[in-house]
Structure 1
């Protein structure tokens, strides 16, 4: 039997703060879970759980040195609901605000798909390099059988 090591989806990465990521070049979201109307101290909210890799600057993208948060909770209404259909996969996005449709309402945070092929290719190269390093580390680990 082959040993398969998985991670438990836990929210040890805090909460996603869209305002802090609005200038990011690219955000790689690897969504591991979604809960509809999860109980919170502020009332029930739709909630997504994801590993969030943020490339804040073109230099971070170029050098493969993003900011990585594993198990980050995303609870802004529109952002979380958009991730419900991509549990178990990844998306490459940025985040921005759109004006409120009703007077007196707050602007909403929304995802924007990254369409620049150069950015996509760099993020894919980063993810492939990361996954290769993990596989290498696992295969180099001692066998205790």
Structure 2
């Protein structure tokens, strides 16, 4: 026959287990909410990437490369600038163009000098204003 200590300890242990299970369930519900938010954000990013692709096609049709040549940009600099205009990071630009991130940085520096700007925001602004 169990002693009174065994009953009391078992009940307390069951209470702790139940409390732990409730915390786990709450955590799972939180994770599901975070997952739903991530799915929404990934969907938005995909739409943004698709819009960027459409924007690139539009720029190509409008003679983007010709306008870049007017600034003295090389073909690689023009390509780098085109991907930059989609909002891509240096890492993504490198992946898209098959070059290293260091090469992207060096290329962008050359682009900034030729455009007469001090950074990516100014380069984007100046390029977009010249595309209009």
TM-score by length of 2: 0.23
More helix by share: 2
More strand by share: 1
Q: Which has the larger radius of gyration?
A: 2
Q: Greater RCO between the two (CA within 8 Å, min separation 6)?
A: 1
